[in-house]
Amino acid sequence: MNILYIGAGFVGTCSAAISADSGHNVLVYDIDAKKIEKLGSGDRDTIESCLYEKGLGDMLVRHADRISFTTQYTEVEHFLDTCDAVFMCLPTPEVGESGESDLSFYKAAANELAVALTKRNNGTQEKRIVIVNKSTVPIDMVDQTAHIMDGHGVKAYGVVSNPEFLVEGKAIQGAMKPDRIVVGAWTPEDFAVMRNVYQRFYDAPDVKYLEVNPKEAAAGKLLANYYLFAKLAVCFDVIGRTAETFSDIQFESIRKIVASDARIGGWGFYDSLYAGGSCLIKDARSLSYQLQTNGKEATLVNETYTANRRQLETFLARAEREAGFVWQGKKVALLGTAFKRDTNDIRNTPSIDIAHFCQERNVEEIAIYDPSALPMFQELFPASATIRYTSHEFDAIKDADVVILATDWPQFRGLADVMIGELKKKPLVMDGRRMLQHRYHDLQEAGFGIIAVGSPFLS
């Protein structure tokens, strides 16, 4: 099949790579020339410096003859003559803090596409084409997409909703072995096209291939993400808080007790300073907005969002309240800027709020380290008299008064030895990920104070 991807972000590029790997001919279009140059470079390291997903670089290099990247719409127009499906992979961020989805990227791309679609096959538009909403969109988006297409006089098209469930950091691995593929369409022809797109998974024994209508597909994506978000919020705000409140309660022991119940399950059973990233927060806000604009209450959805914010505020406030730590004039080591391990994505990463928090409290320095997401963070917080970037975690912590662990990069697990053995000062350890929980006792013995999510103050 010939498949066009519009938007070369995490979703567009990873899905396009899998399509090429499935034997399709793929064109990826984006307006970001720098990104397109890197992704189309044919060099694994260059690709991964732009989009860090394990296996993505190799896959794009391997299938270079089946996938190309462009910023030229003339190339897109030419491709559309024989194109079977167009995947819309545009950003749909929140408008301010309203919960509403900003559909301006989507609509700009859809309008541009619609104009090009009317010209295909010398204006006869005889080849049927399917427009696939892969972006996470409002539940009624299928109608909005059709409205845009009809407004331009596009013919012989269908609109399908095929939400993406990728997990950043495991996008390629996950896409090779998806747990489910959800296709929402109105017509048998559109379902048939999508079965061809996903032929390798359609009959696969361990993939749930779910055919529903487009609104169910869009709603299912939002609700699945809300459910995951709620699980995290319960873990942070109820279970973690309980473990922080009572001495002699180890978070990990509670996890064993609670998560052993198959009805509860183990996913999301960790304590963390914040659930960041581009999806969970935004999708919960969007769900709330859509419920409320349709005259319904969204109390629990809103409270889940608030619980996540409260978690980060509580974590930061504990330094002063429980350890008597005064931030002003202090040196802070901030370890981890990616919103989670194995990605360079910094969208909604707690480190942004932490850096602002430190700046507002007039710290002397924030020394920042991350193994993959520093260039992205530097765009928001350029190096300055108070902001210093380091190329190793030890450089960040060696003179610090407080060490904040914000991302669960596995390499941070080994920090306790370095802290105990080599640091002259004994910084306050703020473990926002329980990365050092196996060494809290040793750190305490060595004279460190520890503020950790899911533990009372340890000193």
Ligand X SMILES: NC(=O)c1ccc[n+]([C@@H]2O[C@H](COP(=O)([O-])OP(=O)(O)OC[C@H]3O[C@@H](n4cnc5c(N)ncnc54)[C@H](O)[C@@H]3O)[C@@H](O)[C@H]2O)c1
Task: Choose, from 50, 83, 279, 358, the residue flagged as catalytic.
Answer: 279
Shortest Cβ distance from residue 434 to ligand X (Å)? Answer: 24
Residue 360 CB neighbour total at 10 angstroms: 9
Phi, psi angles (nearest 5°) of residue 223: -70, -35
Smaller CB separation from ligand X, 166 or 298: 166
Q: Residue 141 Cβ, how far from ligand X at the closest point, in Å?
A: 10
CA distance to 10, 53, 172, 230, per residue, from 57 (Å): 12, 8, 10, 34
Nearer to ligand X, 10 or 157 (CB): 10
Smallest distance, ligand X to C-beta of residue 134, A: 6
> Is 365 near ligand X (CB under 6 A)?
no
- 35 is an annotated ligand-binding site residue: yes
Q: Which residue lies nearer to ligand X by CB, 168 or 431?
A: 168
Nearest to ligand X of 13, 437 (CB atom): 13
- Within residues 122-181, the interface with ligand X by CB under 6 A covers 135-136, 164, 166, 168
Nearer to ligand X, 135 or 311 (CB): 135
To ligand X, the closest distance from the beta carbon of 285 in angstroms equals: 11
Residue nearest ligand X, CB atom distance = 9
- Residues in contact with ligand X, counted by CB under 6 A, come to a total of 26
Q: Which of residues 25-84 bind ligand X (CB under 6 A)?
A: 29-32, 35
Do 111 and 131 touch, CB atoms closer than 8 A?
no
89 flagged as catalytic: no
Least distance to ligand X from the beta carbon of 105, Å? 4
Q: Is 340 annotated as a binding residue?
A: yes
| 30 assigned ligand-binding residue | yes
3-state secondary structure labels for all residues of the chain = CEEEEECCCHHHHHHHHHHHHCCCEEEEECCCHHHHHHHCCCCHHHHHHHCCCCCHHHHHHHCCCCEEEECCHHHHHHHHCCCCEEEECCCCCECCCCCCECCHHHHHHHHHHHHHHHCHHHHCCCCCEEEEECCCCCCCHHHHHHHHHHHHCCCCEEEEECCCCCCCCCHHHHHHCCCEEEEECCCHHHHHHHHHHCHHHHCCCCCEEEEECHHHHHHHHHHHHHHHHHHHHHHHHHHHHHHHHCCCCCHHHHHHHHHCCCCCCCCCCCCCCCCCCCCHHHHHHHHHHHHHHCCCCCHHHHHHHHHHHHHHHHHHHHHHHHHCCCCCCCEEEEECCCCCCCCCCCCCCHHHHHHHHHHHCCCCEEEEECCCCHHHHHHHCCCCCCEEECCCHHHHHCCCCEEEECCCCHHHHHHHHHHHHHCCCCCEEEECCCCCHHHHHHHHHCCCCEEECCCCCEC
Residues 86-125 that bind ligand X (CB under 6 A): 89-92, 105, 108-109
By CB under 6 A, what part of segment 256-315 binds ligand X? 278-279
Q: Does residue 7 interact with ligand X by CB under 6 A?
A: yes
Quick one: which of 5, 10, 201, 377 contacts ligand X (CB under 6 A)? 10
Choice between 222 and 423, CB closer to ligand X: 222
| Residue 12 binds ligand X (CB under 6 A) | yes
CB of 38 to ligand X, least distance (A): 11
Quick note: the x/- pattern for ligand X over 321-350, rule CB under 6 A, is ------------------------------
45 labeled part of a ligand binding site: no
Query: Which residue, 104 or 411, has its beta carbon nearer to ligand X?
Result: 104
Q: To the nearest whole angstrom, how small is the minimum distance from the Cβ of residue 223 to ligand X?
A: 14
Residues that bind ligand X (CB under 6 A): 6-12, 29-32, 35, 89-92, 105, 108-109, 135-136, 164, 166, 168, 278-279
Q: Which segments are annotated as binding site for NAD(+)?
A: 30, 35, 92, 136, 168, 282, 347
Q: Which segments are annotated as binding site for substrate?
A: 165-168, 221, 276, 340
Q: Which segments are annotated as binding site?
A: 30, 35, 92, 136, 165-168, 221, 276, 282, 340, 347
Active site residues: 279
